Every structure is written in C-alpha cells, then in structure tokens.
Structure 1
Amino acid sequence: MRIRVAYGEEGLWVELPDANTTIVEPCFVEGLDEEAALWKALRHPIDTSALRDLVTPRNRVAIVFSDLTRPMPSDRVLPILLEEIGHVPKENILLINALGTHRLNTREELTRILGQEVMQNYRIAQHDCRDYEKLVYLGETSYGHEIWVNKDYMEADFKILTGLIEPHFFAGFSGGPRPYCPA
C-alpha cells in the first residue's frame, strides 16, 4: 500500500504492507470562513471594545507578526487588520517580524509572509536579538536572567500581537506570550 504522509511542503510517499495496515482518516468538516471570523473578532471581541475604537490616529502602532518558520497566514490576516485600523496614518504603523533567535528573513521571504501590498505600503522591522542597540533592558527574572525587549515594540503606544497556536518541539506549544518574548 502506498500512502502520502504530510511532511514538509510536498509530503512524503511511503510503502506500507497491506497486511495489518488500517488507514484511519478524519471526517470532513466544513472549514471556518476565516475572513468573516477575523472581522467578527476585530469588531466584536470578547470583553473589550472593537480594535478600531481602541486605536487612535495619533497612536504609534506596533504589529508583531510571525517569521517564515511558523505557518501563520499573515498574508491573509494583516491586510484585514490593517484595514480595520485604516484611520491610523501608515507612517504611525510599524510591522515587526518576531524572529526570536532565528536569522533575518530575506526580502523575498518577507514578501511571501506579508504579501506584496503590505510590503510596499508599510514600514517593516526585523527583530534581532543580538543587536542590543535595538533592545531595551527591563530587568532580571527571579532566576537572574536578563530581560531584553525590542525597543520599537516598547516605544509603541499601541501593541498588537498576531500568531497561532501549534505544537512546538521545544516549548510544548507555540503561541501565548511567544510573539512578545520569542527568544
């Protein structure tokens, strides 16, 4: 029996013996209309005001997005998010690539992550955990570990973190505070 296993971008074909092999597949469930769900979350969030009502045109906004190692659909999410805060001048918005300890992304990779329109119309910074000129020291943890955070992020009046939750081979799961302190 020849089956395709989800592996990498293309998948991997493997041969299995017909005897003692059972293929169990999940039932198809209609997917969520992600655009409608995102608009609903932005305009009717749980226990707070709509995003457009929280952000003012005078705010300096930092939006943190995942690097190419995460399967976050930033190219679909960010245009909607940016439209929702369209009353904020573009020069007041900075998109920050949450690289953690990963290498900087190339321009081509950033275009793949963000889409051409976002790349052409917004300021983009790549977090570099090794460049202390672009970091702010916040203190130490109870274990004595220094806490350094992106300076552009800290200087923003309004901070928006985007991301996803998925299994992570070191951390158990990604998501939660990881876009803020990815390293």
Structure 2
Amino acid sequence: MTLNYGRRGLVLALPDDLGIHLIEKKTMPVLADPKAALENALTEPFAANSLQKEAKSQNTACILICDITRPVPNGLILEPVIKELIRAGMEPGNITVLVATGLHRPNLDDELRELIGNDWVLNTVKVQNHYAKKDEDHVFLGMSQSGGKILLDRRFVEADLKIVTGLVEPHFMAGYSGGRKVIVPGICHKNTIGHIHTATFLENPKAANCILKGNPLHEEQLDIVARLGKVLCVNVVIDEKRRPCFFSYGEIRESHLKAVKYIRAYTEIPLTKKYRTVITSGAGYPLDSTYYQTVKGMVGAMDALAPGGRMFIASACSEGIGSDDFIDAQRRLVQMGPEAFLASLLPKARADIDEWQTEMQVKAMRAGGIYLFTEGLGDQDHELTGVNRVMDLSAEVSAWVNEIEDREVVVIPEGPYVIPRPAAACGVS
C-alpha cells in the first residue's frame, strides 16, 4: 500500500492480519479530451454568458490562479481562457494572470514556469504575484458583514473583466476550496486575512471540511466577493492521479456550487464508527512540501479517530516547517500547551499571520495522539511540530496495534483530499 508522499510516494509494509479499512475516492470518470471539455464549458456557462461574449467590449482582464501549493492544471486551463479573450478583441498586453498567494511566498523563476505550465502564456500576457503585505497594492472596499476591513488587490478590483480559476476539493476551514476562496484570502491584504482567520470564525464547528451552509468563513467570503460585481470562474475537479474529471464555468457562486455538487459523491466517505488507528498523509507534492500544509491532513482525518486513538501521518516537508510566523506560532503552542494557546487566541480581533494553522492543529490534537513520519525535518524543527516523531512508520503502526490488541486500521492514502464523515452528514452542505 502506498501513501501520497512527496513526489515518489511512501510504501507501507503492514502485517497481513490487519483489518484495513481503505478510505479513498470512488473511481472518478476521467475526461477523454480535457481541452475540448474545457472549451465546451466556456461556451455553456452557469448564470453567465459565454466567456467570449463576456469579454466583448472589455479592455482589461485579470485572471486569478492558485499558488504552487495547489495542483491546478494551469497549463491546460489558461491558454484556452486567454485565447477566448483575445478572440473577443482584447489586447494580450491588457491581460494579467495574478498568482493568488494569500500570505504564502511568491512563485518566481523556475517555480513560476512550473506553476503556469505553459510557455505560450508566459510569453503572451503579464504574469504577476500578489503581495499581501504591500499596502499600496490594495483597494479599500468597505467593511464586511462581520466588521472587517475589505482590502483587495487593485489589479483584480480595477480590471474590466474579473476571472477566477480554481481547484475544487475539501477544505478544512472553508468547506470546499475553489471559487470565492481564490479571492478571499487569495488576493486580500494581510489585515483582511487576519480578520477572517480569527478564532471567532475558526472555532465555529461549521468552519470545517465539506460544510458550506452556516460556515461563517464561507459566508464572509461570499459577502466580500459580492462587493466586486460580476466575477467569472473556471473550476476544475481532478482525480487521485490529478487528471481532470470535471470543469464548470460561469458566475463565481453558481459555477463553484456545480463543482462542489459534482465532487461530493467522490470525496465524502461515510463512516459508521471511529477507529483507534488512523493512517493518513499530507497529500503528496506539492501540498506536503511544508509542515504548515501538513496540518490539513491531520484535520481531514480526525473524524475517523476514536478517543484515545493514534493518528499516523506521513508528509515529506521537503521545504521545512513553513513561514517564520508559523514557526513562532508553533513555538508558542509547544511552550504554552494546546489549551493555553487556544485561550490566547479567543480575544483577538485579528489573528497573527499563520497562527490559524496552529489553531487547526489543536483541533486535531484534541481528537487523539498525532504521530508524524517525515524525512524533511531535523531535530529542532521536529520539536516545533508539537506532535510525536515516527522514524519507521510501518514498525510504529505494528507496535501500536499489538499494544492495544485492536487490529482494525483506517488508511487514507490521499490525506485531506478525501474526508471521512459521519454517514448522515455525507452529501449535506
């Protein structure tokens, strides 16, 4: 059995007598001709006109894409979208592809070429990164429904035609990624991002994987996006081998909901009981490049873990822990302990950068013991994770099941891309 791990995967050698409950997507129908399917989607929109018609008489366009942490097939998506704009009469020099980094680092040079995946795009239009800490790059659009300042990247706000591209998959805070999330937090100012990541939002039980209805973060995102007027969106769903299975294009909210409706049947896996042993992953490259992103795998699997159980997670962490801000939050977690750390967050009107990821880790730690296998962290870095270290994953799992005399094991090879949920909750927003 192989877990998604880095670029190569990680083979597990488990005892033959284990009762393994494999949690993975049902086989997804892969598009025979993804390019043709995308081009067809651009002419059959949800709650919008065809892309070419929307682009008529528009002078400028800004197209948002996710950063390098998401395996979006940009090399496939961007060229047909841009060519539709050019056919409508738009000058290539008036088209900007903007990397919606949120507070992640910019994607530059070879990494940018890998992200875009298409030299024609790089040579035809402007490709730039969002910088959340640059005050001058942002426009104030008023106060959100929760009282936060709305500051968004002016390149998107001021474009005549606003287009978002995104990968739709479960998200541990916003319910599902894609659509509105590429804008909020993708191109928000750091203060806006800090506001929507406070404990006021994230400690709400509906700020969780696969939940949209009543999710305060999702509702705040929709409120902010509504201030922009018309926004178009191209969403994609991919299978476990990252092959395109579904495209939706149209008005941002409606096209996103269509993609969510499609993917629910594959990514929400009903469970009728919890287990004392859960094995999962950080999803493999590019998501598991940092420990910061590994937290998503922990949270994604926690509903499968029985009280007193152990969650084993494998993540390459090839780029280390994450940002300096996240390292600071992890240091506070280790020094204060989970309960005191969480208590320190509750009064805040604006979260410190990246401490929300540590807050989400605390949720997983409340579910049971967390045991991390990685080859990417040294001793000092591993101390900052606040979780237990595993040197040989197969051996540790074998020793644990022998200790508890319970040989039923849950394995989730794709990590946070597949979510075990109570059976009654599956398919319900």
What is aligned with 1:38?
38
Structure 1 residues 9, 168: closer, same or farther in 2, change over 3 A?
A: farther
Distance in 2, matches of 1:163 and 1:48, equals 17
1:56-106 Cα shifts (integer Å, max 9, x gaps) = 254211111111011111111001111222231101111111011111112
Structure 1 residues 7, 152: closer, same or farther in 2, change over 3 A?
A: same
Distance in 2, matches of 1:48 and 1:40, equals 14
What is aligned with 1:52?
52
What is aligned with 1:104?
106
What is aligned with 2:4?
6
What is aligned with 2:183?
180
What is aligned with 1:113?
115
Distance in 2, matches of 1:177 and 1:29, equals 24
Distance in 2, matches of 1:173 and 1:7, equals 22
Secondary structure of 1:96's match? Answer: strand
Provide the TM-score with structure 1 as the length reference. 0.89
Task: Judge conservation of contact 2:103–2:132 (CA < 8 Å) in 1.
Answer: yes
1:67-106 matched pairs, under 5 angstroms: 67-87=67-87, 88-106=90-108
Secondary structure of 1:162's match? Answer: strand
1:114-152 Cα shifts (integer Å, max 9, x gaps) = 122211221112111110101001122233321100011
Secondary structure of 1:133's match? Answer: helix
What is aligned with 1:126?
129
Secondary structure of 1:85's match? Answer: helix
Distance in 2, matches of 1:47 and 1:152, equals 24
1:170 deviates by: 3.5
Q: Which amino acid aligns with 2:82?
A: L
1:162 deviates by: 0.5
Distance in 1, matches of 2:176 and 2:5, equals 19
1:9 deviates by: 2.4
Secondary structure of 1:79's match? Answer: helix
1:150-179 Cα shifts (integer Å, max 9, x gaps) = 011111011111001112234332123111
Secondary structure of 1:84's match? Answer: helix
CA-atom RMSD in angstroms: 2.0
Distance in 2, matches of 1:27 and 1:169, equals 21
Structure 1 stretch displaced more, 166-175 or 149-158:
166-175
Secondary structure of 2:163's match? Answer: strand
Aligned equivalent of 1:17, options 11, 15, 18: 15
Structure 1 residues 26, 121: closer, same or farther in 2, change over 3 A?
A: closer
Secondary structure of 1:113's match? Answer: helix
Distance in 2, matches of 1:23 and 1:148, equals 46
Q: Which amino acid aligns with 1:140?
A: M
Distance in 2, matches of 1:72 and 1:104, equals 16
Distance in 1, matches of 2:44 and 2:180, equals 23
Structure 2 alignment gaps of length 5 or more: 186-192, 194-429
Structure 1 stretch displaced more, 153-162 or 40-49:
40-49
Write 1 or 2 for the structure with the bigger share of helix. 2
Structure 1 residues 7, 121: closer, same or farther in 2, change over 3 A?
A: same
Structure 1 residues 43, 142: closer, same or farther in 2, change over 3 A?
A: closer
Give the count of matched residue pairs. 181
Task: Judge conservation of contact 1:61–1:92 (CA < 8 Å) in 2.
Answer: yes
Structure 1 residues 30, 167: closer, same or farther in 2, change over 3 A?
A: closer
